[in-house]
């Protein structure tokens, strides 16, 4: 039963994220007077169809994506005033970015829900420092940690990220102490060995604070920026070769990750919402990349049209997106194979170390 519930949670979360994305395209298209021929959730053969006044609504058998068909890859007839390609370039730009924008909004709203459900948040204010450690010589209780090694700290998870991606266990901090901003250099953390592996010890704890109405939006924004920056950094590291393609995850991997999270946490809503928030923001940012077949790639063509004051022919643009889509599908096949392999072949698991919160 737990496996069934886990899979159901995964499909519902992924389906909700896709639906929100496509709804963004759909609602802005209709507001701009553009005909949406089909609003589809999923891929492959349709298992449900409902004909609306202007749009065919379908649910397809594979819950791995979706689309809004607006005839954007077809040459428009001059008298077809509701065709996508006959609308002003500004309207088309709004339609194209609306899906990703809705995913980003969804991520922010989920951040608000998570904070309200928890009733508190883990701050970046030092609650205690372990005595006898190098940290105790420079950090003090109630220091507000502003940045580490030049990275601004929005949440306690930013501290974790810096500690987990450290090379030498020595950090430069910018802190706020007694209302004054100051820099503290060369703050060292103790390093031990466990089973021959180097382990960086967390030599301080931070406060877990009660959430107030005035802090709700700022803390939701901090959580949103943390995830968005983490995704951007990961994309940059991928391009620079820090991570290999075998470390990418596709829809199968995402569903499996949600399923494992559901099992391990006993279906605790907070953990599932955190994962949904991360995936929603990830989908929003990824779709804005200027690559063919993605929303960002289509936006590039619209920018070119605005500059040239002349649209690229539908045939040429469609060919570019078709090639991009084919390459994307090849990548998805490779990633999906890796996802499936990771389900059946045991993988080494990383130990995630957390900064412990202290109630205040």
Catalytic residues: 22
Helices then strands (H, E): number in the chain?
A: 8, 11
- State the virtual CA torsion across 217, 222, 225, 226 in degrees, nearest 10: -140
Coil, strand, or helix at residue 294?
coil
Angle of helix 269-287 relative to helix 2-31, nearest 10 degrees, comes to: 40
In the chain, what is the straight-line distance between the N-terminal and C-terminal CA atoms, in Å?
40
Q: Cα separation of 343 and 83, whole Å?
A: 44
Coil, strand, or helix at residue 175?
strand
Residues whose CB falls within 8 Å of the CB of residue 255, separated by 6 or more in sequence, listed in order: 7, 10, 11, 14
Two structure tokens written together for 189: 């953390």
């Amino acid at each position: 039963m737990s496996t069934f519930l886990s899979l159901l949670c995964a499909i519902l979360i992924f389906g909700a994220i896709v639906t929100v994305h496509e709804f963004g395209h759909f609602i802005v298209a209709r507001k701009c007077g553009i005909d949406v021929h089909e609003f589809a959730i999923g891929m492959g053969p349709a298992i449900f169809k409902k004909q609306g006044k202007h749009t065919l609504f379908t649910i397809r058998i594979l819950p791995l994506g979706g689309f809004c068909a607006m005839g954007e890859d077809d040459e428009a007839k001059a008298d077809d005033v509701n065709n996508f390609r006959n609308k002003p370039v500004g309207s088309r730009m709004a339609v194209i970015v609306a899906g990703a924008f809705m995913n980003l909004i969804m991520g922010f709203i989920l951040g608000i829900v998570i904070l309200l459900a928890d009733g508190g948040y883990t701050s970046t204010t030092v609650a205690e420092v372990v005595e006898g450690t190098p940290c105790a010589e420079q950090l003090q209780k109630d220091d507000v940690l502003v940045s580490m090694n030049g990275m601004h700290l929005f949440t306690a998870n930013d501290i974790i990220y810096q500690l987990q991606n450290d090379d030498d266990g020595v950090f430069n901090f910018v802190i706020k102490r007694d209302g004054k901003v100051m820099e503290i250099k060369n703050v060292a953390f103790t390093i031990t060995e466990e089973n021959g592996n180097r382990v960086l010890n967390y030599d301080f704890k931070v406060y877990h604070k009660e959430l107030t109405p005035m802090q709700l939006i700022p803390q939701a924004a901090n959580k949103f920026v943390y995830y968005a920056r983490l995704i951007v950094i990961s994309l940059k590291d991928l391009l620079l070769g820090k991570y290999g393609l075998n470390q990418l995850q596709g829809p199968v991997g995402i569903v499996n990750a949600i399923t494992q999270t559901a099992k391990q946490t006993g279906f605790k809503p907070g953990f599932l919402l955190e994962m949904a928030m991360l995936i929603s923001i990830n989908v929003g940012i990824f779709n804005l990349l200027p690559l063919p077949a993605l929303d960002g790639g289509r936006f590039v063509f619209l920018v070119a049209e605005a500059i040239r004051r002349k649209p690229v022919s539908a045939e040429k643009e469609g060919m570019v997106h078709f090639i991009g889509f084919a390459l994307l599908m090849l990548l998805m096949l490779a990633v999906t194979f890796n996802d499936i392999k990771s389900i059946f072949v045991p993988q080494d698991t990383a130990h995630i170390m957390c900064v412990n919160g202290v109630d205040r």
